[in-house]
C-alpha cells in the first residue's frame, strides 16, 4: 500500500522554492537598480510583486495565511513586498548622479599614487 504524501510538507516545499526565487529576484532588482537600468528595474519590480502576491494569495485561499505553522512563509513574502515598496519610495539603491562617467574613482586615484 502506497503511503499518502503529507500535503502540508508538499506545500511548504513549493512555498520555500517560491520564496527563494522571490528573494533572488529582489537581490537582482537591487543590483539592477544600483546600476540604473530602469526598464529592467520595472520588470523586476512587477515580477517580485507578482510572486509575493501569488504566495500571499495562495496562503489566503488555503486558509494558511495566519496559522502558526506557515507564518514564516507569510512573513517572508510580506517582508519582500515591504522592502520593495520602501526601496521604490526612497529610490534606493540608485546610481550616483553626481559622479561623472569620465571621473576616476577613488580606487583608481589610489593606484596612481
Give the model's pLDDT for residue 18: 96
Give the model's pLDDT for residue 93: 87
The whole-angstrom separation of Cα 15 and Cα 1 is 29
Helices (H) and strands (E) in the chain, counts: 4, 0
The closest alpha carbon to 31, from 96, 90, 95, belongs to 95
Per-residue pLDDT of the chain (113 residues; tens, 9 = 90+): 557 679 889 999 999 999 999 999 999 999 999 888 899 999 999 999 999 999 999 999 999 999 999 999 999 999 999 999 999 999 888 776 666 666 555 555 555 65
The whole-angstrom separation of Cα 89 and Cα 82 is 11
| Positive/negative CA dihedral, 60, 62, 65, 71 | negative
pTM listed for this prediction: 0.79
**Burial letters for 39-50: b for 16+ Cβ neighbours within 10 Å, e otherwise?**
eebeebbebbbe
Amino acid at each position: 500500500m502506497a503511503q499518502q504524501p503529507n500535503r502540508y510538507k508538499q506545500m511548504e516545499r513549493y512555498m520555500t522554492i517560491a520564496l527563494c526565487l522571490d528573494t533572488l529576484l529582489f537581490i537582482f532588482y537591487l543590483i539592477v537598480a544600483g546600476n540604473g537600468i530602469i526598464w529592467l528595474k520595472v520588470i523586476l519590480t512587477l515580477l517580485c510583486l507578482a510572486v509575493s502576491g501569488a504566495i500571499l494569495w495562495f496562503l489566503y485561499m488555503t486558509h494558511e495565511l495566519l496559522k502558526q505553522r506557515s507564518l514564516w512563509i507569510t512573513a517572508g513574502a510580506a517582508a519582500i513586498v515591504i522592502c520593495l515598496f520602501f526601496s521604490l519610495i526612497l529610490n534606493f539603491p540608485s546610481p550616483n548622479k553626481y559622479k561623472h562617467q569620465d571621473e576616476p574613482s577613488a580606487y583608481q586615484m589610489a593606484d596612481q599614487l
